[in-house]
Structure 1
Amino acid sequence: MWTLVCGVIAIIAAALTALAVFGGQTLPERTGPPVEQLAVERAVLSQGVIEVVVRNTGPDPVQVAQVFVNDAYVDFTGPAEPIGRLASRTLALDYPWITGQPYTVSMLTSTGLVIEHVIPAAVATPVPQPGFFGLMALLGTYVGVIPVLLGMLVLPVLRRTGSGVVRVLLAVTVGLLAFLAVDALLEGLDLAALSGGAFGGPALVLLGAALAFLALTAIDRAGASRVRRETGTRSGMRLALMIAVGIGLHNLGEGLAIGSAYAVGELALGTSLVVGFAAHNTTEGLAIVAPLTDRRPSLAALAGLGVVAGAPAIIGAVIGASVNNAALTAVLLGVGVGAIVQVVVQIAPGLRSRTTGSLLDPAVIGGLGAGVLVMYLTGLLVAA
């Protein structure tokens, strides 16, 4: 078998090599003009300088010949050689910009193509320093760890409810997670569009979601030596852990978005931001403890679940503030979507009624709607 597989691979490799070497010589040269595409990934503003990070998203090399800011020619330093496909370069524009003013950066290529980028309101880009990363870590704690831990405080109240109420709470959890998945998907698609499509555009979000779903499914299958829905502390804790992991991956993407927005001056830090995110993410703690209503896990275990779900917001904020890459953020948001979908698949069998066997009865439908509505209403409080 292995000999046959190696032989097939060798034949395919030889055929592709021959096609690459000799195939192009049999085709005519392209008669049209070069296809030039540049995507602006980031604009960094410092005193008297505008740095524009561009990436070639087209098939042909691009040479930037001149740069204009608001129709005025400016001196710039950049690559002497043409920018190759998928390569990224930085253009430093010598321009005395004014805070709060809008600017249009126009890049003229060697073939006469004009590529524009609009800066709606100029503001100095924060310089990453130890204090800056500390601020991002503090912000991630405020919007991630603390709200999740606060939401988990409802566990003693949930223990005093009946099995019917627990089933409705699981439906609420599914509604919460479904809203998070859709919200992250839409945000990821928007960010993927900003990346210029160099690495696949919207496909990045779907790729991240598929990989996360498959990876978490494999982990769950490997760790479940018995029937997954068996009764027992291990089963309840495993489901709670998977929910925490799914929410944590979502909060990682959320932290990336927060850090990226702050790095380019599009995020206003203040009480409204902290309170809004705290109210929005507190409901995530409810989703984590819902499978634990008939168990008594230790405080250390509960704290660990809260850290798993909330701490990724800290990591995301630090990475987003320092890297600020739309394609990376889109992939990680997709990872959060895939993780949440995998968790919903795990929770869904628990919604089935033990008496009637129905999955979607009025109680479950009401719980699903309540979860979606709660996330929507608390999301309105986020003034970012």
Structure 2
Amino acid sequence: MPAPTATRPVVPTWVLAAILVAVMAVVLAGLALVGGDALPERQGPPVEQLAVERTVLEPGTIELRLRNTGPDAVSVAQIFVNDAYADFAGPGDEIGRLASASLKIDYPWQDGSPYLVSMLTSTGAVIEHQIAAAVETPAPDAGLFGLMALLGTYVGIIPVLLGMLLLPVLRRASRPWMTGLMAFTVGLLAFLAVDGTIEGLDIAGASSQAFGGVELLFLGAGLAFLALTAVDRMVSARRAGAGAAGRSGYAAALMVAIGIGLHNLGEGLAIGSAYAIGELALGAFLVVGFAAHNTTEGLAIAAPLSGGPGRPPLARLLGLGVIAGAPAILGGILGATVDNAELTTFLLGVGVGAIVQVVVQLASTMRDGSGRILNPVSVGGLCAGMIALYATSLLVAA
């Protein structure tokens, strides 16, 4: 008896999926149009919320860039600065949900003085914004970009390259020492991930949260982890197709450099934002502190290169240092000119996710002869790496 043949569906799968998506879209649009009319009106006063995303201080003016984070539209009727009425220019219409607007207040503020800006809405509600210490906002010009580039070079590129100078010493290390060094690298990266998470949580808590606060941190971490995992799988598949065994030392060092670079991008954002509001004390202590802190990152990049045959070309080493350190320059420029807490939170999350993915990759390099990842040498290296980065982080006053 012949086997029954499978019948081919009359409607292709993609056509069926398109029809179902269209039906769902029509139903949702109908609910949006007529669903609200069928519900009773909300009782009580409107819920009015305005978040100040950026404060721009220029001589004689205070500009507040606002976003409506509440469910109802908001109209600003009057503004008081330190309980004194102040003239302002702003949108004549209401600020709708999630919409943004700028209010430019005429006020002769004094450098270093604190100010409380009170916004009185058309319904009589008062929304306050505190300026801890008034500092003129730097103009986004060539001077600012040059300063951020110099600062990013000081705290990003130079210290990473300094840490990579230890490569000749690392190449002479024995197998047990190599296991300890790789564990030391993993400890450094693990502490970076924890440090970035804590910093991201702090910044997320202070953001407007109009588009998410802590969620942006974990969204960035998840996307970065998955993206780097996909890249690693693709590279491994190509190496397998070419007959190469395992992951090369350069490939591992490149992934470490990318992870550290994404972390330094978020770190640069925080530095630039702090400079824009006058909370960054530029000076030798800041430079030396960041240099000592980030030199350990260069060591983390050099460690995977120490076990390979031959001496890595100088251009390749410089490239790794630039990949890891240069994002601090871009971050500084973005932080000083944009100063958006939500963007900073997301990019810090990207750095955390990238570093976690690199830690997962490097975990296998800590195995001893019995195949154990957690052995006396690796545990000692992990602890030493975390302690080293913690100790150097105490030197950073930013």
**Bin of the TM-score, shorter chain as denominator length:** over 0.9
Matched, 1:268 2:278: no
Q: 1:322 aligns with which of 319, 333, 337?
A: 337
- State the distance in 2 between where 1:139 and 1:356 align: 46
Which structure has the greater CA radius of gyration? Answer: 2
Greater displacement, 110-119 / 149-158: 110-119
Structure 1 runs not aligned, ≥5 long:
none
Matched, 1:361 2:375: yes
Partner SS, residue 281 of structure 1: helix
Equivalent runs, 1:223-302 vs 2, <5 Å: 223-225=235-237, 226=239, 235-295=248-308, 296-302=311-317
**Equivalent residues, number:** 382
Deviation readout 1:51-72 (Å, 9 max, x if unpaired): 1111111111111111111111
Matched, 1:65 2:77: yes
Partner SS, residue 166 of structure 2: helix
Equivalent runs, 1:15-94 vs 2, <5 Å: 15-94=27-106
Partner SS, residue 364 of structure 1: helix
- State the distance in 2 between where 1:27 and 1:51 align: 40
Post-superposition offset of 1:21: 2.3
Would you say the 8 A contact 1:41–1:194 is kept in 2?
no
Post-superposition offset of 1:216: 0.9
Post-superposition offset of 1:367: 1.0
Deviation readout 1:165-193 (Å, 9 max, x if unpaired): 11111111111111111111111111122
Greater displacement, 292-301 / 328-337: 292-301
Post-superposition offset of 1:358: 1.3
- State the distance in 2 between where 1:99 and 1:17 align: 52
Q: TM-score, normalised by structure 1?
A: 0.96
Structure 2 residue identity aligned to 1:163: R
Would you say the 8 A contact 1:61–1:82 is kept in 2?
yes
- State the distance in 2 between where 1:15 and 1:128 align: 47
- State the distance in 1 between where 2:90 and 2:240 align: 61
State the partner residue of 1:148: 160
State the partner residue of 2:10: none
Post-superposition offset of 1:280: 0.2
Would you say the 8 A contact 2:236–2:247 is kept in 1?
no
Structure 1 residue identity aligned to 2:250: M
- State the distance in 1 between where 2:264 and 2:295 align: 12
Matched, 1:217 2:229: yes
Partner SS, residue 56 of structure 2: strand
Equivalent runs, 1:166-245 vs 2, <5 Å: 166-225=178-237, 226=239, 235-245=248-258
State the partner residue of 1:350: 365
Partner SS, residue 211 of structure 1: helix
Matched, 1:308 2:323: yes
Would you say the 8 A contact 1:255–1:315 is kept in 2?
yes
- State the distance in 1 between where 2:158 and 2:333 align: 17
State the partner residue of 2:384: 370
Structure 2 residue identity aligned to 1:314: I
Partner SS, residue 224 of structure 1: helix
Structure 2 residue identity aligned to 1:122: A
Post-superposition offset of 1:129: 1.4
Q: 2:394 aligns with which of 362, 365, 380?
A: 380
- State the distance in 2 between where 1:232 and 1:294 align: 14
Post-superposition offset of 1:283: 0.3
Alpha carbon RMSD of aligned pairs, Å? 1.6
Structure 2 residue identity aligned to 1:272: F
Partner SS, residue 304 of structure 2: helix
- State the distance in 2 between where 1:25 and 1:120 align: 45
Q: TM-score, normalised by structure 2?
A: 0.93
Post-superposition offset of 1:22: 2.5
Structure 2 residue identity aligned to 1:376: Y
Structure 2 runs not aligned, ≥5 long:
1-12
Partner SS, residue 129 of structure 2: strand
Fraction of identical pairs, as percent = 66
Equivalent runs, 1:336-347 vs 2, <5 Å: 336-347=351-362
